[in-house]
Structure 1
Amino acid sequence: MNENRPVQEEDLQAYVDNALDEARRQEIEAYLRDHPDVARRVDGYIVQRQRLRAALAPVASEPIPPELNLRHMLAARRAHTAAPWRMAASVIVALCVGGLAGWMGRGATEPASGGIAALAREATASYQVFALDLNRPVEISANDRADLVRWVSARLQRPISVPDLSQSGYRYMGGRLVATEHGPAGLFMYDDGHGSRVAMLVRPMQIDQDTPMKAHRQAGIAGYSWADQGLGYSLVASASTSGLHPLADEMRRQIGAQVRKPAPA
């Protein structure tokens, strides 16, 4: 019976970590909609989490070095050589923490930009974090598409639409609200049923509010980004994905048709 349970800091942390059950998650989302100051702080937490996951993703995918294999380390311990390994482990931890701190602090020296280049970077980072997640790539499934669109539209304070790519061979999986350096954004995921996923990121633009489509590629992720009437869109996928440009063109066509649809009389 969580109906009247107050929202605590641990609830917000669990929300950021995707560790809440569905009922509690909806309660927290309703709370954030009513408390924009807290929502902005939570957005900051999510940005930090996404940066951390993106930074560690290449390391997590690497095989464990033989010298760090558990059996090897246990054998070394039995051979009374544990002390050197502890020293090596301390050095490794120090290097990792120092390197990660440097990576996390790199933004302090980068010029702030809310333009197309920043949008492309944010879409790439979101794709690396979520599209490659085999367990929970989306937060809200395709069955609740209308709810997600309403939620994201409310957070962006702009009406948004989700393109239908079924005629192009891609099934809509669902999506989520993500945090970026320039505020909240909607992330919508599609797959072709054969292991290929594409994602569209949409957020309001501070600059480059009407910008032609531009191609980009970073860290093995390719994409096309553009802006129309103050909203930026970025379609991203693995660089090996074929036909990405026609998909982006189809998305832009559908979004443009929806935006320019005359209001009912």
Structure 2
Amino acid sequence: MTDPIVDADLNAYVDDQLDVGRRIQVEAYLSENPAVAAQVMADLRVKDELRLALAGADSAPRPGTREAARRLEGALARRRVYAFFQRAAVVTLFIGAGWFAHERIGPLGATQVAASTQAPAYVSEAIAAHETAQLRQTAAWQAPSRQFDAAALRAATAITLPELPRGWRVMDAQIFPSANGPSVEVALATEKGGMLSLFAERPGNFAVEPVQETHTAGARAAYWQIGDVAYALVADKSDAGSLEATARKLAETLY
């Protein structure tokens, strides 16, 4: 008996992130469920339209590219919401069963377990780049590079950075090696005097992922992906302000 096919498997199938065995199981499931197969094929078509539009795009995305991205992001978002409510229903069922057993049988002595979604690998690289940028700001022997040319950076790396809000200043810009080509880290000073790092690289897959936030012991990171480029906005954990909202505004400038 194989594991049941859930929406996470369908999303991974569309993103081409399943191994061969699981893909065969998903395709067998789709062959027996025409309605679900039609929706998956529609998502694949929108994904291919977006890839084709991005392949022929200049520095400014065309309206067709933005529309394809919005359609794909909407389809994946609906799936995530549906999957969330599926999981919530199962959790509610088990909680109800647990309380029933607690009342009828007594406490079972189970301990609490906290689970969280692990952030992609590039987020760890972004946090490391942020810490390196802070070191360069304070080290007298390593003068930061404040000569920033977004067009030249895009020509050298094929990575388009978001438009910065008015009042923000570029304090430093660096290119780092990564598994799928160069990555970019830009140290920023906000209008209110805060210090942020904007990181961008190619993670090796094609997806449209909304802004999410995670944190470590000393830093916070809001990350998202558009096409084949992933972005992360990093700040010290002690910094106030909504990092996720700021990242969402930056992401909107890329469409």
Q: Normalised by the size of structure 1, how large is the TM-score?
A: 0.45
